[in-house]
Each structure stands twice: as C-alpha cells, then as structure tokens.
Amino acid sequence: MDAGTGVRALSNLLMAEGHADFTFLFTHAHWDHIIGFPFFKPLYSPQSRILIRGCPLEQGNMETLLSRVMSPPFFPVPFESLRAEVRYEEHCDGPLVVDSMTIRTIPLSHPNLGVGFRFDEDDRRFVFLTDNELGLRHHGGRTFGEYVAFCQGADLLVHDAEYAPEEYPERRGWGHSTYAQALDLAEAAGVKRLGLYHHNQERSDKAVDELVARCRALVLERGLDVKCFAVAQGWADDV
Amino acid sequence: MRVRFWGVRGSTPVPGKGTVRYGGNTSCIEIRSRSGDLVILDGGTGIRPLGLELAKSDPLTCAIFITHPHWDHIHGLPFFAPLFIPGNTVDIYCPPDPIHMRGAEYILENQMIYPHFPIRRAELRADVRLLTLSEGQYVEVGDLTIGNVLMNHPSMNLGYRVEGDGASLFFTGDHEPFTNVYEPEDSEHAEYQRLVDRRTASVDEFVSGVDLLIADGQYSEEEYATRVGWGHSSFGHALDFARRVGSPELVLTHHDAIRNDAELDAIDAQLKKRPEAVGLHVRLAYEGLEMMLGET
C-alpha cells in the first residue's frame, strides 16, 4: 500500500527474497504517497510483474498519476520504458481478493479524495486509514459512524494521528486527525490495537513517544482494552 | 560568505537509523553574505528545515537557484514555509527544459497541483517569482553574484558560481565528466574528443580560482564503471576537478542513497589518504556542515 520514500528500502528486501509478483494499492496521489515509486527496484527488472489496482472514481487513475512521477523533466527514466510488466486494473465494485486476503475500501475524509483499506484473512482484520480527518467531513468523506462500522472488531487499526488535540483547531480542514480522535474511533469500533500513523514532520522521536504516553493515559482513564502505540519505520508484527 | 548544508543526498530522501549523522535529506545548500543576503542552491527536502528556521525572521527576501529539475533538487519546494507567508519575496531560478520547451513555472506549478498537493501555486501568500535562467546569465542578489555554466547530466544542469565578500564557491549540481561516446577506432572519435576537451576546458576556466568546490561525488571508481552515462561523478573525478581548477577546498555531496553513516565515514577517511588529495582539504558533506569563506 502506497509508495512513499519508504518503498525503496522495502523493494531491496523484496528483491533479496526473490519476489517477482507485486500488487500495488494506493490510498491517494498526494506526493508523500507516490514519490518513492521510481525507486521501487523491481520496476527495472524484466522478470517483475506489477499490478496496480484501484478505482478511478475514488482516487483518480493511479497509472496516469504515477506516471507523472516518472515524467520529464523530473525523472530520467520515463514510465513508458520500464522493463517490468506494469499493468493497471480498475476495480470499483465489491471486495478485492488478493491471495488469501479480502480487501475492502472506504473513501477518506481528505482533500483531493482517497481510500482506506480493510484486510480480512481468516478471522483476522487489519484496517489502514491514513490521511483521514475524523473531525470534519470533506467532500466525499464518510461519517464517524461509517468509519466505526468499517473498523468494527479490527485486530489492528493503523490510523492517521498527525496532531495533538491542542494543535488541531488551527489545522482543521487540512485532512488529518488527532491521536484522541483515532482513539475514539478505536474505542467505538472495538479495535484491539491502535497504531498511530502519519507522524507530523516536526514531531521528534521523543515527542512521538509523548503522544503515545498521552494516548495510553486516555486508555487507562477510560478503562479501555486498546493497546496504543506509534508505528515506527521497520515495525512489523503478525495480526 | 557563510555556507551551510541542509541536504546532501542524491535521488531520494533516506531517513533512518543508518543515516542520522550525514543526514537523509536531498540537495540543498544555504549561502549567506556578510550583510545577510541569502542564496539557496537547490530545493531538495533539505530546504524544509531551512525554511522553518527562516520563518522565524520574516519578512524574508531570498533567491533559490535550482541546478536542474530532477525531483531530488526540487521536491522540497512545496514544503518551504516562507512561500506561505505574506510579505516574503522569493525568487526561484531554474534552467529551462529544452526538450519540452518549458520554463521555471513548470517546476513549481506541477508540484502544487491537485491531486498531488492540496495547495496550488496561486494560493501562495509570498511574492514568488519563477524565473527561467539562460546559460551564462549572471544574477545579483545583494552582495552576491551568481553565474552559471552548463554541466553534463541527462537533464540540463547548471553549475553555479557564487561570488561575494571577496570569496567564491562553485556547486556542480549533478555532473559527470564529459566523455567520448566513440571508441578510439571509430572515425568520429577524434572530432568528438576535441569537443570533449573544449567543453571540459571551458567549465574548468569558469570554475577556476574558487575558494570552495562543492562537487557531485556519488560513486566509487568501481561503481562508476557500471554507471557511465548516468550523469554522476566518481570520487576520483571530483578530486581531479578540484586540482584542475585549483580549489584549495573540496566538499563531495549527492551521496548515494545506499550509503549509511559508517560507509560514508570510511569513504571520507580513504579520500583524505589518496595521493590526489595531497594539498587539498577534502571532505564529505553532511547536514549541518558550516563553512566560512573569505574575511568574516
């Protein structure tokens, strides 16, 4: 999901593991979600098969939008001359099935559209909702109740938590949530683990730790059964 | 003249535990004259923290010179805070894209568009001018004079010479030495070699006598051998360049995205021991490196 600059290091790992088939899903086309795409190494291997799936009504045509990252004068290798087999498949209706995972989407409440994803495999559920403003309904966005229904019973919810509550009023409408709003969602949906995500550019490691501490204090105060943590670069776990 | 490095990476930002000391931001260099005139070379992601520091001292006037419009030299621009503050004046100079006949507007207006960015160029509050540079054109920014010369890269890349306060520096941007594309037995070899020699000499002449050379030094010699034509220099190319132009000081930048701090430390140590480095003060750029040139 998404191809921010983190996708470069991921692709090194995937190449080393010998993968050749990839499916890309994109939340939306803001730069920080696509700017790493040209550094996804399998693009330059004729053995790779890369499938981009998405619904143009929800996020635009991702193939066209991605090709802009690899167009002159910004990047030396044009999208059209990639050695990998790159295909775009529109998928708008019903869940998407990839291997043993069933994937559903929900529109984000964010400027310029986008989607969040819910992954179901066996009896486990993971929801990824970044760039989602729970405190304001943007054009195309959904109600708090609809996000609750989407996240219902998730074992892991990774949600936009860019702001502390005191930072939010000045940034209302910018398309992001506070950790407290993310926790409200986790509580209402009976989520087991909440991963805070989309850390603000100005938030140092120590400051992120402080937000986590505040989130956990809220959990205690309300007597909730939610484990709150901050997603870190390199963090991985089984759901 | 004070020089400060805010971004020293090539290609793409590489933040993480392995790049804390040299830094993971892409190309950006701040230059201040003694009287405070501000010139910024390149608008990679390093320009973001620079912008935050500058935002403390509004109103601000500055000029940004882009070596060429590849992402790693421009993708920090939408995050340059002074663009959003009324009363600021920001001039952004960029070479044209001669293949598609586009000018400087393109580098910002195509970054600040839906659905890639939520704020459009027309919404910027500062007085922002996007100015297309011609090869060889001189620009004065207060006490600083900025000249340029066409370098060798798959994109039209201008190297910038900045003069002021009785000191001078040159920044290559992305550059690979001019090389002959023909084999010695080809009939075109001799004529092409004359062109290569002429262009090398004209760049050398333009750069000659600087106090500081900031040069593309992305590759080791072994790496370069398999990346000829990609538009970057080896460590040895940068050392040769510094010697040819008589610069006493050489800073290598545009570090490859694959390198971590320990590897860069090792490269830095090896560079200093090379025979070509005798009499040269050479080092690798890192985020936060500050240098004073000329009288203070």
pLDDT digits (tens, 9 = 90+) for B35-57: 999 999 999 999 999 999 998 88
Residue A203, classified by CB atoms within 10 Å of its CB into exposed (0-12), middle (13-18) or buried (19+), is middle
Q: List Cβ neighbours of B285 (8 Å cut-off, separation of 6 or more).
A: B5, B8, B22, B214, B251, B252, B253, B255
Write out pLDDT tens, residues B114-136. 999 999 998 999 999 999 999 99
Q: Which of A72, A75, A175 minimises the CB distance to B118?
A: A175
Put simply, the answer to whether A9 touches B70 (Cβ < 8 Å) is no
Those of residues 89-108 in A touching chain B at CB distance below 8 A are none
Count CB neighbours of B288 within 10 A. 13
Average pLDDT, chain B: 95
Q: Which helix (H) or strand (E) holds A207?
A: helix A205-221
- Mark out chain B residues that contact chain A at CB-CB < 8 A: 11-16, 48, 52, 68-71, 74-75, 78-79, 97, 99-100, 102, 106-107, 110-111, 114-118, 154-156, 231, 257
- B175-192 mean pLDDT: 94
Is the pLDDT reported for residue B295 higher than 80? no
3-state secondary structure of B150: strand
Strands (E), B151-228: 158-164, 167-171, 212-216
Chain B residue numbers touching A111 (CB-CB < 8 A): 118
Cβ contact B157:B151 at 8 Å: yes
Write out pLDDT tens, residues B235-293. 999 999 999 999 999 999 999 999 999 999 999 999 999 999 999 999 999 999 999 99
Q: Residue holding tokens 């190319």? A: B237
Q: Check residue B101 and give its pLDDT.
A: 83
Distance from CA of A230 to the nearest CA of B (A): 16
Q: Check residue B108 and give its pLDDT.
A: 85
* Percent of chain B topping pLDDT 70: 100
* Dmax (CA) of chain B: 62
Q: Which residues of B130-155 are buried (b: 16+ CB within 10 A; e: fewer)?
A: bbbbeeeeebebeebebbbbbbbbbb
3-state secondary structure of A189: helix
Distance from CA of B167 to the nearest CA of A (A): 33
Q: Check residue B85 and give its pLDDT.
A: 95
Provide the token pair at B131: 């100015």
Put simply, the answer to whether A73 touches B106 (Cβ < 8 Å) is yes
Phi, psi of B93 (to 5 degrees): -105, 140
pLDDT tens-digit profile, chain A (239 residues):
999 999 999 999 999 999 999 999 999 999 999 999 999 999 999 999 999 999 998 888 999 999 999 998 999 999 988 999 999 999 988 899 999 999 999 999 999 889 999 999 999 999 999 999 999 999 999 999 999 999 999 999 999 999 999 999 999 999 999 999 999 999 999 999 999 999 999 999 999 999 999 999 999 999 999 999 999 999 999 99
Residue A120, classified by CB atoms within 10 Å of its CB into exposed (0-12), middle (13-18) or buried (19+), is middle
Chain B residue numbers touching A8 (CB-CB < 8 A): 12, 14, 257
Query: Which residues is A119 bridged to in the sheet?
Result: A103, A126
Q: Check residue B296 and give its pLDDT.
A: 59
Cross-sheet strand order for the sheet of A21-25: A21-25, A49-54, A85-90
Cβ contact B236:B276 at 8 Å: yes
Do you find a cis peptide bond into B59, omega within 30 degrees of 0? yes
Write out pLDDT tens, residues A200-237. 999 999 999 999 999 999 999 999 999 999 999 999 99
Q: Check residue B232 and give its pLDDT.
A: 97
Count CB neighbours of B218 within 10 A. 29
Q: How far apart are CA A190 and CA A149, in angstroms?
A: 10
Distance from CA of B71 to the nearest CA of A (A): 5
Global ipTM: 0.90
Q: How far apart are CA B282 and CA A121, in angstroms?
A: 56
Q: List Cβ neighbours of B97 (8 Å cut-off, separation of 6 or more).
A: A72, A73, B69, B103, B106, B155, B156
Q: List Cβ neighbours of A30 (8 Å cut-off, separation of 6 or more).
A: A112, A114, A131, B115, B116, B117, B118
Those of residues 19-78 in A touching chain B at CB distance below 8 A are 28-31, 34-36, 38-39, 59-60, 65, 68-69, 72-76
Cβ contact B171:B41 at 8 Å: yes
DSSP letter assigned to residue B133: P
DSSP letter assigned to residue A93: S
Q: How far apart are CA A110 and CA B35, in angstroms?
A: 44
Is the pLDDT reported for residue B58 higher than 80? no
Length of chain A: 239
